[in-house]
């Protein structure tokens, strides 16, 4: 089977594409009682003859819970959308099926969330699946109930594995912000950003993965922007942060931004600069063991928008 690659899909990994996608997505308003936490995942997968960008958006607030699936057209100038309302009080909505069209081709969505486990965000952590099926092929499969998904859809696995290019999370909390990197589907990397920006002591910040502190910044009022290269499974990961609004804006009006970018293993020059964040007091040498190959992890980035609430 020949796969076609539209120009839009070929350039998905560059910074301009990320910037464009970031500006298209709305941010929450923490002072609003209906403010919602969101998680966005951008995949590239082969669907009905083309490599396409597929955006998965989980949204949750006190009253509503929804899943939005957006598939780009072959030219990248239009999105086909499927919205699934998962009302917390409706048991039936936790399992379902829905279809929509992508350039005249039927795409089916199957989901089971009845037993889904959640941590702090709207994205399920375990015991669920969401499957996109086109031409009797599961072109994208989320969750760990993979056998159940294949059995229910009666469709074959994807001939080419989808690629996860970035994940973006809007997290609302007082001082501790948690997300899962999921740069590897087989492991669950838990990233936690903790801060102490009030009180008599100088403000501090900690960034940890699976309980191991990777970055520790003291005197945060002077080092509210910075970057640090750390080691994750012997691969360099660049961590960038900007928490200016935490310190110098009114509560609930700004956010802290954190970017986690895995660097290709062969980029030795980046490894030598692992002290980029010289302004920070950092715990270096911490390692986290995952199983994904460098050729795919080097493309993944995580964006965390941390909104402080009172």
Kindly state the tokens that stand for 241.
């942060």
**pLDDT greater than 90 at residue 9:** no
Q: Please state, in angstroms and rounded to a whole number, the distance separating the CA atoms of residues 90 and 58.
A: 17
Give me the pLDDT at residue 112, please. 94
Highest mean pLDDT among 88-97, 249-258, 263-272, 283-292: 249-258
Look at residue 296 and tell me whether its pLDDT is greater than 50: no
Distance of CA 53 to the CA centre of its chain: 15
pLDDT higher than 70, residue 267: no
- Indicate if the pLDDT at residue 34 is higher than 50: yes
Note the pTM of the prediction, 2 decimals. 0.79
User: In this predicted structure, what is the pLDDT of residue 187?
Assistant: 59
- Do strands 163-173 and 301-308 pair parallel, antiparallel, or not at all (unpaired)? parallel
Q: What is the mean pLDDT of residues 224-233?
A: 92
């Amino acid at each position: 089977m020949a796969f076609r690659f539209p120009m839009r899909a070929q350039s998905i990994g560059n910074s301009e594409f990320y910037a464009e996608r970031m500006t298209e997505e709305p941010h929450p308003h923490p002072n609003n009682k209906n403010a919602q936490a969101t998680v966005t995942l951008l995949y590239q997968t082969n669907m009905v003859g083309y490599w396409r960008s597929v955006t998965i958006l989980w949204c949750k607030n006190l009253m509503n819970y929804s899943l939005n699936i957006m598939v780009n057209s072959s030219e990248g100038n239009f999105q086909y959308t499927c919205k699934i309302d998962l009302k917390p009080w409706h048991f039936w909505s936790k399992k379902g099926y829905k279809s929509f069209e992508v350039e005249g081709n039927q795409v089916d969505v199957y989901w089971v969330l009845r037993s889904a486990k959640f941590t702090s965000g709207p994205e399920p952590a375990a015991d669920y699946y969401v499957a996109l099926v086109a031409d009797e092929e599961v072109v994208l499969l989320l969750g760990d109930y993979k056998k159940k998904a294949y059995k229910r859809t009666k469709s074959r696995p994807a001939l080419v594995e989808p690629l996860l290019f970035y994940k973006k999370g809007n997290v609302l909390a007082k001082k501790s912000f948690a997300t899962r990197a999921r740069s590897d589907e087989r492991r669950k990397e838990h990233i936690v950003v903790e801060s102490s920006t009030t009180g008599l002591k100088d403000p501090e910040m900690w960034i940890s993965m699976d309980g191991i502190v990777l970055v520790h910044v003291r005197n945060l009022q002077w080092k509210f922007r910075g970057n640090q290269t750390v080691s994750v499974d012997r691969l360099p990961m660049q961590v960038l942060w900007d928490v200016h609004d935490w310190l110098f804006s009114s509560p609930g009006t700004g956010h802290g931004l954190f970017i986690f970018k895995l660097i290709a293993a062969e980029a030795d020059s980046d490894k030598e600069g692992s002290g980029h964040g010289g302004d920070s007091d950092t715990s270096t040498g911490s390692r986290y063991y995952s199983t994904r190959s460098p050729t795919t992890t080097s493309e993944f980035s995580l964006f965390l928008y941390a909104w402080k609430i009172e």
